[in-house]
Amino acid sequence: MARAALSAAAVVDVALRLVDEEGVGALTLAAVASRAGVATPSLYKHVRNLAELRALMSARIMDELSERIGSAVLGRSADEAVRALMTAWRDYVLAHPHRYAALGQAPEPRVAEAGERLIGIMLATLRAYDLDDTSVIHAVRCLRAAVHGFAVLEAERAFQRSEKLDETYDMLIRMVVAGLATATPPRR
């Protein structure tokens, strides 16, 4: 990559490719600089440090995830939308396990801002269940925990039994949907 083409976005691109190919443990500024064809100090014109690079990467990953999920739920509602959301999220994690593992969970402002889009999509997906304001937040948290937990365990090959994971995930979706139907009395 020519130095003139280097930008914060380009540094994130290089870092994400590195993580996709070698895993999160390979992420260092020196490794990113080497892949970009520049000396490490050249990166400091675009990112302050590794922590900022991780935050920029996390925001990008969150944006990608939101785009994938938003497209999946578009035009769907209720149980069908929840199924689409859960399927798209899992598919993203399985397609990009190292990238997803690089997603920072700490409330860094850039990541939180990107995460608000995903939260908005989830809130819209759950609108059909007529949950009150508090219950819908609890439901979003439960939905996130269920999808994230399963997908991460699957990506890490933590499920060792012979039963088909697609069948297990379908069961999880049915359990989540059934739980949403009984989560709270309807709003008045």
Q: 4 pLDDT band (50/70/90 cuts)?
A: low
Q: What pLDDT sits at residue 106?
A: 72
- Look at residue 187 and tell me if it is in a domain: no
SS3 24: helix
Question: In terms of domains, do 148 and 70 share one?
Answer: yes
pLDDT in tens, 144-171: 999 999 999 999 999 999 999 999 999 9
Spatial distance between the Cα atoms of 52 and 137, rounded to a whole number of angstroms: 29
Question: In terms of domains, do 176 and 118 share one?
Answer: yes
Q: Identify the CATH number of the domain in which residue 21 sits.
A: 1.10.10.60
Question: In terms of domains, do 127 and 155 share one?
Answer: yes
Question: In terms of domains, do 148 and 64 share one?
Answer: yes
Question: In terms of domains, do 34 and 119 share one?
Answer: no
Q: What pLDDT sits at residue 14?
A: 97
- Look at residue 17 and tell me if it is in a domain: yes
Question: In terms of domains, do 86 and 123 share one?
Answer: yes
**Residue 109: exposure state from Cβ atoms within 10 A (0-12, 13-18, ≥19):** exposed
Question: In terms of domains, do 10 and 100 share one?
Answer: no
- Look at residue 162 and tell me if it is in a domain: yes
pTM here is 0.90
- Look at residue 34 and tell me if it is in a domain: yes
Domain that holds residue 71: 57-181
- Contact between 27 and 15 under an 8 Å Cβ cutoff? The reply is yes
Question: In terms of domains, do 41 and 75 share one?
Answer: no
Question: In terms of domains, do 37 and 128 share one?
Answer: no
User: Rounded to 5 degrees, what are φ and ψ at 4?
Assistant: -65, -25
Q: Identify the CATH number of the domain in which residue 106 sits.
A: 1.10.357.10
pLDDT in tens, 39-71: 999 999 999 999 999 999 999 999 999 999 999
- Look at residue 92 and tell me if it is in a domain: yes
- Look at residue 188 and tell me if it is in a domain: no
Question: In terms of domains, do 61 and 21 share one?
Answer: no
